[in-house]
Structure 1
């Protein structure tokens, strides 16, 4: 903050994109509220958090018990309370950095009306978007953060195992998803509904089965569709432990898979192994995606490429 000439930072967080909109807010304040909120982080002095309606903070905010970093936690009354606090601290003419959340596939989360309210309420202050400085801080994970990611991955593996155990002809998508959520929570994961679980039969002439490329988001997934022989069940889901996310994609086939699916699976496993081998310090992202594309291109397969889309900044 000193190097960037900032007197204070204003943080805004919300639950956009299954909670990722809280990532920067949570990293600094240790408050992981789905209700979102505001925080003021001065260069000198203690931070303050504005979170939740007044009745949920009376007589005591739960976040006072869940962390020991921020002690001043107040009701979220919108930008008016933030503006009043800034004035009380003498920052009416300060250089203020705004920190929200945004990646190349998630729009900047600070609402336009909120920004207008801040600039009108503090007309002599200078505002700058400083979301990038916190993103940069979080890009390289500490050993403790890596342990959290590893724990999230362990829980994710248990969810995959639960998925495999549950899938039988007659079982519904909803039952499969419910078992995965139960395993997540019972092993210490944070409740996550993000699961693009989708199924369809690959042997039937059904133009709708093309949705198996991506799955379906909530509330379109899961459905009460019963599983049958010849079904392909795909899933992409998130597992979060202490705010750190493991993203998983996994597919299960019921019965004897067709040759085409076996070849796709082999290419996918080669691509995964190529990524593990090439993702080392000093290599470029271009080298990574070229290595990952090669098994599909060599076989003449088409592919759907999500790209590198900032899951790491969602933790």
Structure 2
């Protein structure tokens, strides 16, 4: 018997939900087929795995049971939530374990093999969440209701579906990059000696929200051009003011259509020091080489070897960060701390998106330069979606 929600209901929070029904069907088909190939009777996205649930529903807070035999899913949604992808979800308020269990029972999963997304960190999704993201209490209650079912890890089923982007997702990422670069332009226009750093942060955020971005904190490292007094902020930097030769190193993050763009840019209040020039040139050299390597079929292990090969030259040291991008906590992650086993059999694929961000430190050990942006892997090579010129921005 289908779960009946409580009579009380509350207002829901608006989220962007403009992907087409064709996009919904593409995602459901990809997850169904991968789940069936892995031998699962259904894919279950429980409470807690908000990223994967939103991927399948476009809802702010939901849970999904997607049978792999082609039947439509049952979607449990928060309060009065619904949209074109899920016009009639089972709605709940604060009780989640009961409707999730009832959804599984309604679909005949009493003795099924159930693939659970978000149960632990995956290879290309939830990569920083080693112990998973599911709400343990609600999930444990569901397992007690279905004692004869087998609940097994299936994070990679959703992860690899998310890894390859559709035309609609790529268009959203292009828009996210455009918004992030507009945020950088706003920062460069307003950054002056004496400006309150917290007000500057808020002004940049406001500009990105005006252009349609979802709220997502961007990171700002404030210090001096010689590398001193540096501190990283992900909220407005209260009590700080810019001054001559201040260096604002940004990780400008904009989210549009769930796609998360990050554009890394140094903004300096003053002329570019001579000591920076060879460091910037070396960073540009590594950046361009890396973009050329982002081609379909290339092994991620080869990219890790590339990151090691550029680690030091002429007294300058480089650390690279190459990360799969999408709806959040994406991978693979390739950098100095990456273990080769984590990349085993992983390859770059057409229509994947990446953040490419090398950092080079000068021979003096103080001068440091980072510049990065979003790269789309096309049929033949990597396409840098960022439109701004490479280099530091000098503000008088």
The match for 1:72 among 82, 85, 89 is 89
For the 8 Å contact 1:238–1:248, the answer to whether it is kept is: yes
Change (3 A) 1:93 1:283: closer
| Pairing 1:277–2:289 present | no
Residue matched to 1:37: 62
Secondary structure class of the residue paired with 1:110: coil
| Pairing 1:134–2:158 present | yes
* Residues 69-148 of structure 1 aligned to structure 2 (within 5 Å): 69-76=86-93, 77-100=95-118, 102=121, 103-107=126-130, 108-148=132-172
Residue matched to 1:18: none
The match for 1:260 among 275, 279, 296 is 275
* Residues 148-227 of structure 1 aligned to structure 2 (within 5 Å): 148-193=172-217, 195-203=218-226, 208-209=229-230, 211=231, 215-218=232-235, 221-227=236-242
Name the CA distance, whole Å, in 1 between partners of 2:66 and 2:244: 57
Change (3 A) 1:78 1:281: same
- Give how far 1:295 is off: 5.7
Q: Which runs of 5+ in 1 are unaligned?
A: 15-20
Secondary structure class of the residue paired with 1:157: helix
Secondary structure class of the residue paired with 1:109: coil
Name the CA distance, whole Å, in 2 between partners of 1:293 and 1:149: 29
TM-score, normalised via structure 1 length? 0.81
- Give how far 1:233 is off: 0.6
Secondary structure class of the residue paired with 2:222: strand
Residue matched to 2:391: none
More moved, 67-76 vs 164-173 = 67-76
Name the CA distance, whole Å, in 1 between partners of 2:226 and 2:85: 57
Name the CA distance, whole Å, in 1 between partners of 2:107 and 2:168: 34
- Give how far 1:242 is off: 0.8
Name the CA distance, whole Å, in 1 between partners of 2:201 and 2:184: 10
Name the CA distance, whole Å, in 1 between partners of 2:312 and 2:271: 26
TM-score, normalised via structure 2 length? 0.65
Change (3 A) 1:175 1:261: farther
Name the CA distance, whole Å, in 1 between partners of 2:72 and 2:302: 44
Residue matched to 2:73: 47
RMSD: 2.6
Change (3 A) 1:70 1:45: farther
- Give how far 1:254 is off: 0.7
Stretches (4+) displaced over 4 A: 289-296
Change (3 A) 1:97 1:284: closer
- Give how far 1:267 is off: 2.3
For the 8 Å contact 2:184–2:252, the answer to whether it is kept is: no
Answer 1 or 2: which has greater strand percent.
Answer: 2
| Pairing 1:10–2:44 present | yes
Change (3 A) 1:73 1:191: farther
Answer 1 or 2: which has greater helix percent.
Answer: 1
Change (3 A) 1:245 1:291: same
